[in-house]
Structure 1
């Protein structure tokens, strides 16, 4: 093999090694991209893990109405636990809990999970949502479970738009200045004119 061919082979080998070492930064079990974590709040205490915790407000910032807490609560223990309360420290807001079915408490089954928020799931409604949480802030939220006790974390406050639309408040009042929706039962025109004549 000639001297120029050997030099070319060595140069090609050096390039292959440099590319391999650079690409190692973005692949494999130790890849730096694996260190990226989602923005949604998560915390673990004993057997309980809470993920994707959010406070979701009305879709229109000008509307005063209820907000909700949305989260997934996991129970890795061997016994079920009940979610006794959710509180928002630093506010006077109260959170009303409702199980997905029936009138009992929200139960997190052993080795199972419960989704709070969204159609057909358990719910946690903050009646004074507009006063309790401001969009863009992080709000401390404390989940109190029957065995684990208090599990607190900082949850982002977001409006019920885009990805969060289906998990936001069920009750959405009309924005200020919008035409009010008629309430009550409609009266047939014949009955209305009949009563007007009396």
Structure 2
């Protein structure tokens, strides 16, 4: 074999060896562009048994779910609240409704859903102004909160929802509401007791 043929054989072998890596890169890229975005931080797509088989059921798919945390390096204090962002697609043949979101009470006290969210067939729906309330611990970003989404027809879907720091593509979202400071009660100045003046009585001299 000539030196030229030998170099060509080495080049072909190197290219063939690189194909699996190139395929893996392509698969990872396509995975983010061929379906609705769902953040995977904090295991949002991980089921309780460690699998990633689904993030919905009976035709209802939660394509995006995250809690907006503080700015990078900050925190949301315990007792506060944080916005909950949801995107839901109903692939079932009949409409459905998200009637509520509840927590197990470990990370947050309650979840506010201002009104039921109607889910028309084959349409993307969002849940405006939803929020987790009564944080049990300060939120820094990177945590996860276990929530159960209640649907009229699809039933209950329980999943771990990530807390995403308000940075990068999330930096333009409105920040978490600041808790309203409780007004401090101030003692009113006590009124100084004053003696009520009485008419001066003088004894009439006897004549």
Query: TM-score when scaled to structure 1?
Result: 0.65
Whether contact under 8 Å (2:94, 2:120) holds in the other structure is yes
Note the C-alpha offset of 1:109: 1.4
Provide the C-alpha distance between the structure 1 equivalents of 2:76 and 2:154, rounded to a whole number of angstroms: 38
> What are structure 2's unaligned runs of at least 5 residues?
32-38, 46-54, 182-207
The one of 8, 13, 21 aligned to 2:8:
13
Describe the shift of the 1:93–1:152 C-alpha distance in structure 2 as closer, same or farther (beyond 3 A). same
Q: Give the C-alpha shift of residue 56 in structure 1.
A: 2.1
**Structure 2 residue aligned with 1:61, among 55, 68, 75?**
75
For 1:87, which of 102, 114, 117 is the aligned residue? Answer: 102
Q: How many correspondences in the alignment? A: 158
163 and 132 in structure 1: CA distance in 2 versus 1, 3 angstrom threshold: farther
Match of 1:50 among 53, 58, 62: 62
SS at match of 2:113: strand
Find the counterpart in structure 2 of residue 191 from structure 1: none
Secondary structure class of the residue paired with 2:14: helix
Over the aligned positions, Cα root-mean-square deviation in angstroms equals 3.1
Tell me, yes or no, if structure 1 residue 106 matches structure 2 residue 106: no
CA shift for structure 1 position 167: 4.1
Per the alignment, residue 163 of structure 1 pairs with 169
- Separation of aligned partners in 2, 1:154 and 1:26: 31
How far 1:39 sits from its partner (Å)? 2.4
Q: Secondary structure at the match of 1:139?
A: strand
Normalized against structure 2, the TM-score is what? 0.62
Q: Deviations over 1:4-30 (max 9, x none)?
A: xx41232133122212212202334xx
Q: Show structure 1 runs of 5+ residues with no match.
A: 1-5, 99-103, 117-121, 177-198
Inter-CA distance 94–168: structure 2 relative to 1 (3 Å threshold): farther
How far off its partner does 1:127 sit? 2.8
Distance 2:111 2:59 in 1: 24
Alignment of 1:6-45 (within 5 A): 6-28=1-23, 31=24, 34=27, 39-40=40-41, 41-42=44-45, 43-45=55-57
